[in-house]
Structure 1
Amino acid sequence: MSANSVSPSRSFHLVCGAMTPGPANTIADVAGVTVGHRTLEEGDLRTGFTAVLPHAGNLFREKLVASVDVINGFGKSAGLVQVEELGTLETPILLTNTFGVGTGVNSLIRRAISENPEIGRSTGTVNPVVLECNDGYLSDIQAMALTEADAEAALATAGVDFEQGSVGAGTGMSAFGFKGGIGSASRQFELDGRIFTLGTLVLANFGKPGDLVLPDGRTPHPKSFGQTEERGSVIIVLATDVPLESRQLKRVARRAGAGLARLGAYYGNGSGDIALAFSTATRLEHFEKRDLIVRDILREDKIDLLFQASAETTQEAVLNAMIASPAMRGRGRSKRASLADWLSSFAE
């Protein structure tokens, strides 16, 4: 997909902000970042795993600088405490449903041990990062159907070209009373004469029905939604190739909340809204022999470019998740309408 090509939201002339998208307008525009899915859609199941691989190497041995901002903490994710404390990421990131977190944790631990047999023996343990949203409206979450093999399949299929919408972890998700899911977007900008990128991937499962505000000011209202409050959660994963320290990444992650607010969200009591950000610019060696290391760091008064990109990509990624998701029927009599269908009704 070129910079001039059409993403799901842009196919309906919905443009978020003024910055320039990357070539594919996804998180994979950040070099080295890949995404994979494993989807379970059978019987009463509408669920899955989505994997984000920050680089193709051994993440335990070559960690990345990272940080997290918990916008609203109604969530059951794993690994965030250590990311917050140490400011590093040492496994791929798995997204799934609430009851799939433990399975994802086990899968990431086994993967790390297979690559690094010294884990838990001659060196420390590993910090797996798994983030979740509740897909229990459309899927039988009590079945706890996801397996470690499903997580491994999502990791194994990771690539720069990946689906958006009702796929992987996004299969059973809802947003603003419509069908939600996985969405992504990116922005590019110049620093010191070089082009840098910030890309975002969201698991969109939040928002009060009727509160959605489109970039053109329209406020779609689903005909049937089955909820009256804002709850459900959204996970936001931000990647950039700009060299940042963990404190700066936390500031960038916090601005993802501005993108949610532009859509009409107010981070309701029952909505777990979490943003995790990492930089691919520097790899931190697990077995570093030097006492002091030197790293490039962005000058603080240039960080507004990343703040703007964080807000724009989060807003657009959520819209892409919704527009790429067709209408769905799920467990029992549950159903979600498609935002794309609502938008198409005005184009006829």
Structure 2
Amino acid sequence: MDSPPRPHFPPGGARRRVRDLGLVIGSCGTGPLNAITDVPGVRVGHTTVRRPPDVHTGVTAVVPDAVGPRTPLPAGVFTGNGYGKLIGTTQLAELGTLETPVLLTSTLSAFRVADALVGWVLQRPGCEEVRSLNPVVGECNDGFLSDIRARPVHEEHVRAALDTASGGPVAEGCVGAGTGTVALGFKAGVGTASRTPDVGGRRFTVGVLVQANFGGTLRVLGRTLTPRSLGFGPDGPGPTADVGSCMIVVATDAPADARQLTRVARRAVFALARTGAAYGHGSGDYAVAFSTRPEAGRPVADAGLGQLFEAVLDGVEEAVVNSLLAASTTTGFGGRTVPALPADALVAALAGPAVPGPADR
């Protein structure tokens, strides 16, 4: 088991994120870290499981401090395309409450991860008499680059991600649940972003974390970017088979209820279209949204939800591109190689003239 990674920085120490390239998505400000951990009381932990060349996988934990079976948080879930194994969906939708941290992992490891999460929660102080528990575990199929049938994520990996979850900068790219994922033809992984919208005169924080692993053609700031426009030849990267889910976790300190959070989750899935997502038959596209402070003052009025929706749309778009920029070219199972998105080429392509689509594909 690898030790929990530090935040991902490229050679030379300059962090490759959207804003470091001078690209700004939306007009709303970000939190200090531009990460889901900007939401007070939210921590993130990763365990990366890598045994080259065949295994590139892991687990990521999003841990709200206050959550538990005795102290559930209001939450909502939305399914864009249901070809996935989001464990805990029905109770989450029925009751509108989140009882555990949200864990992300590889498809065939999701069931072991759920069992390990149950064991971890039952050992928490105050849970000695708990007799029912709804673990929430999402997944992406990382079988293109990792030996998914080996099911290499075990209980110790889950506990390490939970026990080392922390605030502060969030590692992105090829870490945790994003170690083996691929999106839009490029190596992807975990990405995060935050926004601080003004809702009815009150300032709140909205943070998102994505596990990106979906097909389509990359779009950034409304521009379609084909392999040729990014400097690749005709045999360059292209959309991979849509065999993996995209998981999105949204956290906010706005006092929203489950119905409102379901609407927020819906916008998070809608936001994938901005990045070029194909929402294909084999892609499971899900979002889980929760509030960390349901009792923090008067509830958000429905009329004010527009600012939260916009924050989520912009945040998810940025988080997906961050996941691509932070990832590195990876050779995995079966000798397959997926290239990283070149940052310099991205900036150059966005500065240049738009290229007609069909002739450039």
CA deviation after TM superposition for structure 1 residue 7, in Å: 6.3
| 1:129 lines up with 2:140 in the alignment | no
Residue equivalent to 1:280:
292
Measure, in 2, the Cα distance between the counterparts of 1:58 and 1:215.
Answer: 35
Measure, in 2, the Cα distance between the counterparts of 1:197 and 1:7.
Answer: 23
**Percent identity over the alignment?**
43
Residue equivalent to 2:156:
149
Matches of residues 1-348 of structure 1 in structure 2 within 5 Å? Answer: 8-43=17-52, 44-55=54-65, 57=66, 59-115=68-124, 116-120=127-131, 125-160=132-167, 161-208=169-216, 211-215=217-221, 217-221=223-227, 223-225=235-237, 229-282=241-294, 296-340=298-342, 343=345, 346=348
- 8 Å contact kept, 2:122–2:130: yes
Q: 1:81-120 CA distances to partner (integer Å, 9 max, x unpaired)? A: 1000000001011100001111111111111211212122
1:92–1:49 distance in 2 versus 1, CA, 3 Å:
same
CA deviation after TM superposition for structure 1 residue 186, in Å: 0.5
- 8 Å contact kept, 1:14–1:214: no
Segment drifting more, 315-324 vs 192-201: 192-201
Alpha-carbon RMSD across the aligned residues, in angstroms, is 2.2
Measure, in 1, the Cα distance between the counterparts of 2:306 and 2:343.
Answer: 36
CA deviation after TM superposition for structure 1 residue 232, in Å: 2.0
Residue equivalent to 1:289:
none
1:216–1:74 distance in 2 versus 1, CA, 3 Å:
closer
Q: 1:301-340 CA distances to partner (integer Å, 9 max, x unpaired)? A: 0000011011101100000001000111111211111113
Measure, in 1, the Cα distance between the counterparts of 2:148 and 2:238.
Answer: 17
Amino acid in structure 2 at the alignment position of 1:215: L
Q: 1:155-182 CA distances to partner (integer Å, 9 max, x unpaired)? A: 1111112211100000000001100100
Measure, in 2, the Cα distance between the counterparts of 1:342 and 1:316.
Answer: 17
Measure, in 2, the Cα distance between the counterparts of 1:207 and 1:226.
Answer: 9
Measure, in 2, the Cα distance between the counterparts of 1:176 and 1:342.
Answer: 18
CA deviation after TM superposition for structure 1 residue 282, in Å: 2.3
Give 3-state SS (helix, strand or coil) of 2:41's partner.
coil
1:344–1:260 distance in 2 versus 1, CA, 3 Å:
closer
Measure, in 2, the Cα distance between the counterparts of 1:306 and 1:342.
Answer: 32
Amino acid in structure 2 at the alignment position of 1:331: F
Give 3-state SS (helix, strand or coil) of 2:129's partner.
coil
CA deviation after TM superposition for structure 1 residue 216, in Å: 6.0
Give 3-state SS (helix, strand or coil) of 2:206's partner.
strand
Amino acid in structure 1 at the alignment position of 2:186: F
Amino acid in structure 2 at the alignment position of 1:135: D
Measure, in 1, the Cα distance between the counterparts of 2:174 and 2:182.
Answer: 10
5+ residue gaps, structure 2, are: 1-6, 8-13, 350-361
Q: Which runs of 4+ in 1 moved over 6 A?
A: none
- 8 Å contact kept, 2:57–2:178: yes
CA deviation after TM superposition for structure 1 residue 341, in Å: 5.1
1:6–1:243 distance in 2 versus 1, CA, 3 Å:
farther
TM-score (norm 2): 0.85
Q: 1:236-288 CA distances to partner (integer Å, 9 max, x unpaired)? A: 000001111111001111111332111111311111000100001127xxxxx
Give 3-state SS (helix, strand or coil) of 1:339's partner.
coil
Measure, in 2, the Cα distance between the counterparts of 1:341 and 1:191.
Answer: 34
- 8 Å contact kept, 2:63–2:162: yes
TM-score (norm 1): 0.88
1:13–1:230 distance in 2 versus 1, CA, 3 Å:
farther
Give 3-state SS (helix, strand or coil) of 1:131's partner.
strand
- 8 Å contact kept, 1:237–1:277: yes
- 8 Å contact kept, 1:7–1:25: no
- 8 Å contact kept, 1:199–1:238: yes
Amino acid in structure 2 at the alignment position of 1:270: G
- 8 Å contact kept, 2:67–2:73: no
- 8 Å contact kept, 2:60–2:161: yes
Residue equivalent to 2:3:
none
Measure, in 2, the Cα distance between the counterparts of 1:153 and 1:102.
Answer: 17
Measure, in 1, the Cα distance between the counterparts of 2:274 and 2:76.
Answer: 23
Measure, in 1, the Cα distance between the counterparts of 2:271 and 2:25.
Answer: 9
Aligned length: 327
CA deviation after TM superposition for structure 1 residue 50, in Å: 0.2
Q: 1:199-224 CA distances to partner (integer Å, 9 max, x unpaired)? A: 1000000022xx11111625142644
